[in-house]
Amino acid sequence: MSTLAGRVALVTGASQGIGRACALALAEAGATVALCARNEVKLAEVADEINGAASRAAEAAGEMDDAAAICGGAASAGVTEPFAGSAHIFALDLSSEESIQACARAVIAKLGKVDILVNNAGITRDTLTLRMKRKDWDDVLATNLTGAFLMTQAVMGSMLKARWGRIINITSVVGETGQAGQANYAASKAGLIGLTRSLARELASRTITVNAVAPGYIETAMTAILTDAQRTAMTSQIPLARAGTDREVAAAVAFLASEEAGFITGHTLDVNGGMYMG
C-alpha cells in the first residue's frame, strides 16, 4: 500500500548510506523524493534505482491488469500496489546557506511543496579535543547542526501552508552518550535533539511533527574506516551483538513520516540494538 502517495519528501545526504536507504524506503511507500547532496553522479544512480523500480513495478501491474481483462476478471483486484514513488535530484552543499536556500527553492518550484524533510547529511572530523582545530569544530557544527536548522527553516513555510508536515532529524547515539575523540560530532548531534524538541513545540499546532532517529553502530561508508579491533569493541557494547543496517534506520524514518505516527512528536527513536537505553 502506498501510504505516502501524494507526499513530497526531501532527503539530505541521499547519495549513499542512511540517506540513500531513507530515500528508497520513502519512495517504496509512495512518496516523490527529492534527493539532495553534493555528489550528483551518485544521486543520479539512486534516482535511477528508484525510478527504474517504479517503472518495472508499473509494467508488471499493467501486465496483471491485461491478464485479468483477458480472463474476464477484475483488474488488479486485491493486488498489492506497485512501488509507486519517484525521485528527482538536486545539488546541495549543507555548509553553504546560499546552496541550502537554492536547493529548497528548486525542490518547491519543481515538485510544488515539501511534506517530509529528512535532515540526514553529516560529516565527521574526529580527533581528541586537545588537538582539535577550530575549523574541525566549525565545519562539523556548520554542516550537521546549522545546515539542518537552515534547511528546516527553508522548507517550513511549505508545511505551514499545508498545515501538515513531518521533520525527521538523523542524530546519533553519541549525541546521547558522548564519545571520546568526537566532541564536535557529539555536540552537533546532541544539538539536533534539542532542535527537534524545540521545533516540535513550535509546530505542533499546525499538525507538523518533529522527531529524531538516533542510530547506533550502523554499517555505512562512514563506519567502513574502522579497524577490526574497533568493530569488535563496538559490537561488544551492543546487547543484540551486531551492527545495524541502513535499511533498519530507514524503516524507523518511514514510520515517523507516516500518518500512523501522527501522535508522536518531540521524540528520539533509538535504533541501536540496545547500545544505549535512555
Would you name the residues annotated as active-site residues?
Answer: 185
Give the Å distances, CA to CA, from 110 to 32, 176, 225, 273. Answer: 11, 37, 37, 39
Neighbours of 266 (CB within 10 A): 16
| Extended beta strands in the chain, E state | 8-12, 32-37, 86-91, 116-119, 165-170, 208-215, 268-271
Is the Cβ–Cβ distance between 249 and 215 less than 8 Å?
Answer: yes
Handedness of CA 119, 124, 128, 134 (dihedral sign): negative
Give dist(CA 196, CA 183) in Å, integer: 20
Number of H helices, E strands in the chain: 9, 7
Question: If you write DSSP's letter for every residue of 93-117 in order, what string do you get?
Answer: -TT-HHHHHHHHHHHHHHHS--SEE
Q: If you search the block for the grid coordinates 534506520, which residue do you land on?
A: 249
Q: What share of the chain is helix, strand, coil (3-state, %, to 5)?
A: 50, 15, 35
Could you tell me whether strands 8-12 and 32-37 are parallel, antiparallel, or unpaired per DSSP bridges? parallel
* 3 state SS of 237: coil
